[in-house]
């Protein structure tokens, strides 16, 4: 029984959170002391609970007061929002009225404002890209505020616009040399004297330069114009007094920029491709043969002229000497046999004299045919490009069309001089053979006279 009472008391003490700690902290010596401690702790727990209940009641009153204040603030803000909305609508009406009054008060000034803004925008673009800005950078920044302004311009701003236009007009008629940094094509920077020709061109050291307004740098053209154009720059810069001609781009550098994109003669030649190279080889072979024949025929003609001065002593080093030797060896023959011997000697000399002349003629005939072949190959490539990519981009077909035209031109260029050279070489060879025929006929005639 005592054990059961102890168990119940222990279970009761576990349910009391505050009392359990106190009872466990003390060592009860008897059941009566333990019961007394439990009663005391129960009274203490009731007091704590009542205090907590009072605190919760007080906090509830405070929370209700906060809720009432929040509701009152919400009602006040709604009322304020309604007032602001009404005021906003009234202000919108007033603002529209004021804008109408402003437009009425501005009158023609509004049109002037638009003109000034448009003019300022145009002037900024013109000044920013002008080569004058290479000498006087930062001029366009003064007009940016005027171009972006939302109010009427002041007198000072209008004067800035006027000064900008006047400065550009004044500098367009000047030729000025100034020192500045130049960014070369390899990325290096050089300090050099640059001459500005009005608003058209920048020149220095025999070269044309351009102004890159994006990077605010002076740069040489990617490719300089033809030699005669750059030569005029050198002559102009070397001139101390007087006048000289100078090529100036009236489009402010645009024509020069387009000229740099034009293919050079070397690039056009390489557009001919393999067929163009074959035509060139044919031309070179023909020219080499022609040069060789010019030299050999010239030497032969000189030897024959020398032999004509001494016909009694024939030399085997020239064709006429060999003909005369045949005569001297057959003086005792009759006229018919002597004529046959001389004709035979001339026939032996003719192939050596005419050697290579027909090759020049053949190469002159082959060159335009090769050009026609290149034309056909180029047109085949053109139609293939059209089949694959269509006709939307002409640049795709430009390469094959260039090949067709360039090879045709190369064939004609090779054929014309070869035909002319062939005529000259053939004429010289024929002249030598004709001299041989004349001398042989004279020998036969002189041999026949004593027998008449």
Angle between helices 155-171 and 141-148 (to 10 degrees): 130
> CA dihedral in degrees (423, 426, 427, 430; nearest 10)?
-160
How far apart are the C-alpha atoms of 346 and 323, rounded to whole Å? 7
Torsion angle (degrees, nearest 10) of CA 388, 392, 394, 399: -10
What six digits make up the tokens of 63?
């929370």
pLDDT at 91: 92
How high is the pLDDT of residue 412? 92
Contacts of 157-162 spanning 24+ positions with Cβ under 8 A: 158/116, 161/116, 161/119, 161/120, 161/123
Whole-number pLDDT of residue 111: 67
Count Cβ atoms below 10 Å from residue 430 Cβ, excluding itself: 14
pLDDT at 452: 47
| pLDDT (0 to 100) of residue 283 | 93
pLDDT tens, the chain, 452 aa long: 444 444 444 444 444 444 444 444 444 466 777 777 777 777 677 777 777 777 777 777 777 788 888 888 998 899 898 999 999 999 999 999 888 877 776 656 666 667 777 777 777 777 777 888 888 777 777 677 777 766 667 777 777 777 878 888 888 888 888 888 888 888 888 888 888 888 888 888 888 888 887 788 888 887 788 778 888 888 888 888 878 888 888 877 777 777 777 777 787 888 888 889 999 999 999 999 999 999 998 888 888 888 888 777 877 788 888 888 888 887 777 778 888 888 888 888 888 888 888 999 999 999 999 999 988 888 888 878 777 777 766 676 777 788 888 899 999 999 999 999 999 999 989 888 888 888 888 888 877 775 44
pLDDT of residue 87: 92
CA distance 193 to 5: 118
> How far is residue 276's CA from residue 371's CA, in Å, rounded to a whole number?
8
SS3 letters for the chain? CHHHHHHHHHHHHHHCHHHHHHHHHCCCCCHHHHHHHHHHHHHHHHHHHHHHHHHHHHHHHHHHHHHHHHHHHHHHHHHHHHHHHHHHHHHHHHHHHHHHHHHHHHCCHHHHHHHHHHHHHHHHHHHHHCCHHHHCCCCCHHHHHHHHCCCCCCHHHHHHHHHHHHHHHHHCCCEEEEEEEEECCCCCEEEEEEEEECCCEEEECCEEEEEECCCCEEEECCCCCCHHHHHHHHHHHHCCCCCCCCCCCCCCCHHHHHHHHCCCHHHHHHCCHHHHHHHHHHHHHHHHHHHHHHHHHHHHHHHHHHHHCCCCCCCCCCHHHHHHHHHHHCCCCCHHHHHHHHHHHHHHHHHHHHCCHHHHHHHHHHHHHHHHHHHHHHHHHHHHHHHHHCCCCHHHHHHHHHHHHHHHHHHHHHHHHHHHHHHHHHHHHHHHHHHHHHHHHHHHHHHHHHHC
- Give me the torsion for CA of 68, 71, 76, 78, rounded to 10°: -170
Cα 9 to Cα 3: distance, rounded to the nearest angstrom? 10
What is the pLDDT, as a whole number, of residue 2?
44
């Amino acid at each position: 029984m005592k054990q059961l009472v102890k168990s119940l008391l222990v279970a009761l003490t576990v349910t009391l959170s505050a009392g359990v700690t106190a009872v466990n902290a003390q060592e009860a010596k008897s059941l009566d002391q333990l019961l007394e401690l439990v009663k005391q702790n129960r009274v203490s727990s009731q007091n704590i609970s009542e205090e907590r209940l009072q605190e919760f009641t007080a906090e509830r009153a405070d929370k209700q007061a906060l809720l009432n204040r929040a509701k009152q603030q919400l009602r006040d803000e709604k009322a304020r929002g309604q007032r602001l909305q009404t005021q906003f609508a009234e202000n919108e009406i007033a603002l529209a009225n004021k804008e109408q009054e402003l437009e009425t008060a501005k009158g023609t000034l509004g049109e002037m404002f638009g003109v000034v803004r448009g003019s300022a925008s145009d002037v900024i673009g013109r000044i920013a890209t002008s080569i004058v800005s290479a000498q006087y950078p930062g001029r366009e920044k003064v007009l940016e505020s005027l171009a972006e302004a939302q109010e009427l311009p002041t007198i000072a701003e209008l004067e800035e616009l006027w000064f900008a236009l006047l400065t550009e007009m004044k500098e367009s008629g000047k030729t000025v040399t100034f020192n500045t940094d130049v960014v070369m094509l390899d990325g290096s920077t050089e300090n050099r004297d640059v001459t500005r020709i009005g608003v058209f061109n920048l020149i220095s050291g025999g070269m044309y330069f351009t102004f890159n307004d994006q990077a605010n740098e002076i740069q040489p053209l990617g490719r300089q114009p033809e030699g005669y154009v750059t030569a005029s720059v050198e002559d102009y810069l070397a001139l101390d007094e007087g006048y000289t001609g100078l090529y100036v781009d009236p489009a402010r550098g645009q024509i020069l920029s387009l000229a740099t994109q034009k293919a050079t003669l070397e690039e056009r030649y390489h557009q001919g491709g393999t067929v163009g190279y074959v035509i060139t080889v044919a031309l070179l072979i023909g020219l080499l043969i022609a040069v060789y024949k010019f030299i050999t025929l010239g030497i032969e003609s000189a030897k024959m002229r020398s032999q004509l001065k001494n016909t009694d002593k024939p030399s085997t080093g020239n064709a006429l000497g060999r003909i005369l030797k045949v005569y001297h060896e057959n003086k005792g023959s009759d006229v018919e046999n002597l004529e046959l011997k001389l004709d035979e000697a001339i026939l032996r000399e003719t192939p050596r004299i005419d050697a290579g002349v027909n090759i020049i003629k053949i190469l002159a005939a082959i060159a335009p045919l090769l050009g026609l072949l290149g034309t056909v190959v180029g047109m085949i490539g053109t139609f293939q490009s059209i089949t694959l990519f269509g006709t939307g981009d002409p640049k795709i077909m430009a390469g094959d069309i260039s090949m067709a035209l360039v090879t045709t031109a190369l064939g004609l260029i090779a054929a014309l001089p070869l035909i002319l050279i062939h005529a000259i070489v053939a004429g010289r060879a024929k002249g030598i053979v004709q001299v041989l025929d004349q001398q042989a006929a004279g020998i036969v005639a002189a041999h026949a006279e004593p027998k008449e």
